Amino acid sequence: MSELPQAGGESGRDGFETRAIHAGAPHDPVTGAVVPAISLATTFAQSAVGEHRGYEYSRSGNPTRAALEACLADLEGAGHGMAFSSGLAAEHAILSLLGPGDHVIIPGDAYGGTFRLVDRVHQPMGVTYTSARLDSSGVGSDNLAGAWQPTTRMVWVETPSNPLLGVADIAALAEATHARGGILVVDNTFATPYLQQPLALGADIVVHSTTKYLGGHSDVVGGFAATNDHELAERLAFFQNAAGGVPSPFDCFLVLRGVKTLAVRMDRHCASAAAVAGMLEEHPAVSQVLYPGLPGHPGSRVAAHQMRKPGGMVSFVLAGGEPAALEVARSTRLWTLAESLGAVESLIEHPHRMTHASVAASPLAVDPGLLRLSVGLETVSDLIEDLTDALRRAG
């Protein structure tokens, strides 16, 4: 197995935007190319048996992937980073740290795919789980204490969560988890390392679907996991190579390209999301707006403390329930009705029937009147006008 990827040490002192552009991607020493090559080679010449330049076989290690891993690890303040072929492949690697008899606590409003992976793949292999609400300060750690079992090894949290945008207090959960001898995993997909740094707040592992904001352009599926714990890193890197769920060099290139503009994109996503949330709050057809930047949101205080800004996702409940929600979802012109999130184009979706259909019959089911918005980078007045038109039609 090749060496664990390391974060670019020197660059750790630079600002976030600088590191997003320079970390892990030094100019090509031979040609001076300012972007990393897409290294398609599957195998690498050895000068003598076992003597090579760090690469042997592309599943075990690839130069384009190494550049991506070094960049993202640096942005998360992690010593070690592993890229995967999807967010769920990264999650699968992390959950595979658990064995038969081990117990994991997952959030009550987990991403549907995370719930399905735990419930339908890892539970049949002997892992047990409890779902608990881990958001809202204080309440989260109390619920964690209540869900804890003697066999609990891991706590999994998403913050902000999907689709309810609940905010979990990462530092409080890390403390409560460590006091009981477990490890805390944070899915940082909604926040990105620009808005939130889970490892610095005490989490043991941070995981991403790079399909979302990190890629940022709806053109690549990928995942990433990072940690500062050497032993966990070795086990994750072993799994990455042994199970083989690695991203292609082209996919790695696309995520690296996306990350260079992450900070400027996130600033605009956040500003436009705040404006959209403000409009929805005033709208008579809307009974509830879920956005961590609103003062009335139960997680606003924790969000203000642990996030740079409250993010680009907004969810809301229609006063007219599911029929109104379905009508709005099909009537927008600029907001594309589609799953996924975090890219340049604005998306609208109906979690109950779309992203969260797999949990519809479980305790994690979401309100059928709920719509989720991924606020994109279009002119914000256009977005607001289009959504207002759709709300009028549904009202």
Ligand X SMILES: *Cc1c(COP(=O)(O)O)cnc(C)c1O
Report in angstroms how near the CB of residue 159 gets to ligand X at its nearest.
10
Residues between 8 and 47 that touch ligand X (CB under 6 A)? none
By C-alpha distance, which of 374, 385, 395 is closest to 325?
A: 395
Size of the site for ligand X (CB under 6 A): 16
Compare residues 80 and 356 and give the one whose CB is closer to ligand X.
356
The position carrying tokens 């699968």 is 92
- 3-class secondary structure, 317: strand
User: Among all residues, which ones are annotated catalytic?
Assistant: 59, 111, 187, 212
What is the contact mask toward ligand X in residues 184 to 213, using x (rule: CB under 6 A)?
Answer: ---x-xx------------------x-xx-
Give min distance, CB of 365 to ligand X, in A.
17
Cis peptide, bond prior to residue 150, ω within 30 of zero: no
Contacting residue, 83, 88, 276, 380, with ligand X by CB under 6 A: 88
Determine the interface stretch with ligand X among 32-40, 106-114, 263-271, 368-376 (rule: CB under 6 A).
106-114
Q: Nearest approach, Cβ of 126 to ligand X (angstroms)?
A: 23
Alpha-carbon span 139 to 133, nearest angstrom: 8
Neighbours of 10 (CB within 10 A): 8
Q: How far is CA 246 from the centre of its chain?
A: 17
Please identify which residue in 39, 58, 96, 162 interacts with ligand X, judged by CB under 6 A.
162
Helix or strand run (H / E) with residue 365: none
Cβ closest to ligand X, residue 136 vs residue 189: 189
Q: Binding residue for ligand X (CB under 6 A) from 108, 113, 258, 376?
A: 113
Sheet holding 183-187, edge to edge: 80-84, 223-227, 205-209, 183-187, 152-158, 103-107, 128-132
Q: Which of 87, 166, 310, 351 binds ligand X (CB under 6 A)?
A: 87
Closest CA to 265 of 375, 147, 136: 375
112 neighbors 359 (Cβ within 8 angstroms): yes
Tell me whether residue 8 or residue 245 sits nearer to ligand X (CB atom): 245
Name which position in 223, 249, 310, 320 contacts ligand X (CB under 6 A): 223
Which range binds ligand X by CB under 6 A, 81-89, 142-150, 374-382, 384-392? 81-89
Which span (111-119, 123-131, 301-309, 346-354) binds ligand X, by CB under 6 A? Answer: 111-119
If the CB atoms of residues 157 and 176 are measured against ligand X, the closer one turns out to be: 157
Helix H segments across 118-198?
A: 139-147, 170-179, 192-195
Q: Which of 223, 225, 265 is nearest to 89 (CA)?
A: 223
**Closest distance between ligand X and the C-beta of residue 152, in Å?**
21
CA contacts within 13 A on the Cβ side of 208: 35
Question: What is residue 307's three-state secondary structure?
Answer: coil
What sign has the CA pseudo-torsion 61, 67, 68, 74?
positive
Residue 288: CB atoms within 10 A of its CB come to 15
Comparing CA positions, the residue from 193, 145, 202, 195 lying closest to residue 169 is: 202
Binders of ligand X among 332-351, rule CB under 6 A? Answer: none
Q: Which is nearer to ligand X, 254 or 391 (CB)?
A: 254
Closest CA to 110 of 1, 189, 211, 31: 189
**To the nearest whole angstrom, how small is the minimum distance from the Cβ of residue 161 to ligand X?**
8
239 token code pair: 């799994």
The amino acid at residue 363 is P
Closer to ligand X by Cβ: residue 137 or 189: 189
Of 8 and 166, nearer to ligand X (C-beta) is 166
CA 201 to chain centre: 16
Residue nearest to ligand X (CB): 87
Closer CB to ligand X, residue 64 or residue 162?
162
Kindly write out the interface string for residues 282-321 of this chain, putting x where it contacts ligand X by CB under 6 A and - elsewhere. ----------------------------------------
| SS3 category, 84 | strand
Q: Which of 69, 102, 109, 158 binds ligand X (CB under 6 A)?
A: 158
Options 111, 156, 316, 335; binder of ligand X; rule CB under 6 A: 111
Instruction: State the nearest-atom distance from the C-beta of 189 to ligand X, in Å.
Output: 4
Footprint of ligand X on this chain (CB under 6 A)?
86-88, 111, 113-114, 158, 162, 187, 189-190, 209, 211-212, 221, 223
